[in-house]
């Protein structure tokens, strides 16, 4: 399999502080790849570096055979990479519908109506709330909106930063099953950053473990789940 996205020796800095210290990651087409790690490990930074903010200082980021290391963020979005960033970042004063429409901007609204129906089928809650302000949605609804907004651009690669953050277990489970379904049915490639290591690793084909800006372990999802180091550090002795 050729990699859809690959990072080679990527470093990133906030001022003089290194947040990523030479990261190698590969995501193949049709895969769900998860990245787990403690708070402050640099997971969100990695996701944002792929998107060009902060830009990688060394190393290369290649997407679909194209070097995007120095590509500006808005152009990366046009390459059919979509993200639901940390903290969701929906537009709080705009309605749910407007948020979704913003997501379809890169496709010039070519499939807007069709995709909207699809999003409402996946997340019926959003249809009920279509006219409501984004900022007044509940946390879970906001997360659904952030994912739906990202999907409106018909991405090949969807990057999610902690989609289960602050959600009731049942809602989190629902989100994960949506991700799984999108992957299996539509062949969507997913890069998933998670704190909820158990669910993430169970869902993912492969996983990476990040410590202090470096990848320390990688392997199949189930395989990582079995490793005692992973269990001890991220699963509180297993469940």
Partner 1 sequence: MTTAAAPSPFPEALKNAFVTALIALGLAAPMMGLVTVQVGGDLGLEPHCPRVAIAVALVFVGRLILNLTIWRPGRVKKVTAISPKTERLLSKTARYLAPAAVAFAIILPFLPGVGRGQIDLGILVLTYVMLGWGLNIVVGLAGLLDLGYVAFYAVGAYSYALLAQNFGFSFWLCLPLAGILAALWGVMLGFPVLRLRGDYLAIVTLAFGEIIRLVLLNWQWFTGGPNGIGGIPKPSFFGIDFKTGPDGFAATFGLTFSPLHRIIFMYYLILALALITNYFVIRLRRLPIGRAWEALREDEIACRSLGVNTVNTKLTAFALGAMFAGFAGSFFATRQGFISPESFVFMESALILAIVVLGGMGSQFGVAVAALLMIGGFEWFREFQDYRLIIFGLVMVLIMVWRPRGLVSSRSPSVFLKEKKAISGSLVQEGHG
Ligand X SMILES: Nc1ncnc2c1ncn2[C@@H]1O[C@H](COP(=O)(O)OP(=O)(O)OP(=O)(O)O)[C@@H](O)[C@H]1O
Q: Which residues bind partner 1 (CB under 8 A)?
A: 51, 53, 72-75, 77-78, 82-83, 85, 89-95, 97-98, 101-103, 105-106, 109, 130-136, 149, 153
What 3-state DSSP class applies to 230? helix
Axis crossing angle, helix 96-103 with helix 139-151, rounded to the nearest 10 = 30
Residue 232 CB, nearest approach to partner 1 (Å): 35
Nearest to 59 by CA among 128, 125, 50, 188: 50
Q: How far is the CB of 184 from Mg ion (least distance, A)?
A: 27
- Residue with the CB atom nearest Mg ion in the bound state: 44
HSE toward the beta carbon, residue 46, CA cutoff 13 A: 36
> Which residues are within 8 A (CB) of 130 and not within 5 positions of it... i.e. 6 or more apart?
95, 96, 97
195 binds Mg ion, rule: CB under 5 A: no
User: Of 7, 43, 61, 163, which lies in the binding site for ligand X, with binding defined by CB under 6 A?
Assistant: 43
Contacts of Mg ion in 50-109 (CB under 5 A): 86
Least distance (Å) from ligand X to the CB of residue 208?
12
- Tokens encoding 162: 């902690």
For every residue of 32-47, DSSP letters joined together read EEEEEE-TTSSHHHHH
Residue 41 interacts with which of partner 1, ligand X, Mg ion, none, CB < 5 to 8 Å by class: ligand X
Which of the ranges 12-20, 105-113, 148-156, 223-231 carries the binding residues for ligand X, by CB under 6 A? 12-20
Binding positions for Mg ion, 27-46, rule CB under 5 A: 44
Min dist CB 12 to partner 1, Å, is 16
Q: What is residue 11's three-state secondary structure?
A: strand
Q: 3-state SS of the chain: helix, strand, coil percent to 5?
A: 40, 30, 30
Q: What whole-number distance in Å separates Cα of residue 72 and Cα of residue 49?
A: 11
The nearest distance, CB 196 to ligand X, in angstroms, is: 11
Q: In this chain, which of 19, 144, 158, 175 binds ligand X, going by CB under 6 A?
A: 19
> Is residue 8 a contact residue for Mg ion (CB under 5 A)?
no
Phi, psi of 76 (to 5 degrees): -60, -40
- Interface contacts to ligand X, rule CB under 6 A: 14, 17, 19, 37, 39-45, 86, 195
Which residues of the shown chain bind Mg ion in the complex (CB under 5 A)?
44, 86
């Amino acid at each position: 399999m050729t990699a859809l996205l690959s990072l080679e020796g990527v470093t990133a800095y906030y001022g003089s502080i290194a947040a990523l210290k030479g990261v190698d990651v590969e995501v193949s087409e049709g895969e769900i790849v998860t990245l787990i790690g403690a708070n402050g490990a640099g997971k969100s930074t990695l996701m944002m570096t792929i998107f060009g903010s902060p830009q990688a200082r060394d190393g290369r980021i290649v997407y679909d055979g194209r070097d995007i290391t120095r590509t500006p963020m808005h152009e990366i979005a046009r390459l059919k990479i979509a993200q639901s960033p940390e903290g969701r970042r929906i537009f709080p004063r705009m309605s749910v519908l407007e948020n979704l429409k913003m997501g379809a901007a890169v496709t010039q609204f070519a499939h807007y109506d069709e995709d909207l129906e699809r999003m409402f089928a996946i997340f019926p809650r959003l249809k009920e709330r279509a006219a409501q302000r984004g900022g007044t949605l509940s946390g879970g609804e906001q997360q659904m909106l952030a994912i739906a907004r990202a999907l409106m651009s018909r991405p090949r690669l969807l990057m999610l930063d902690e989609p289960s953050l602050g959600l009731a277990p049942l809602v989190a489970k629902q989100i994960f099953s949506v991700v799984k379904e999108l992957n299996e049915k539509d062949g969507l490639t997913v890069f998933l950053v998670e704190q909820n290591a158990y669910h993430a690793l169970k869902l993912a084909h492969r996983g990476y473990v990040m410590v202090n800006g470096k990848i320390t372990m990688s392997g199949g999802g189930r395989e990582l789940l079995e490793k005692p180091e992973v269990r001890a550090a991220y699963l509180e002795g297993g469940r």
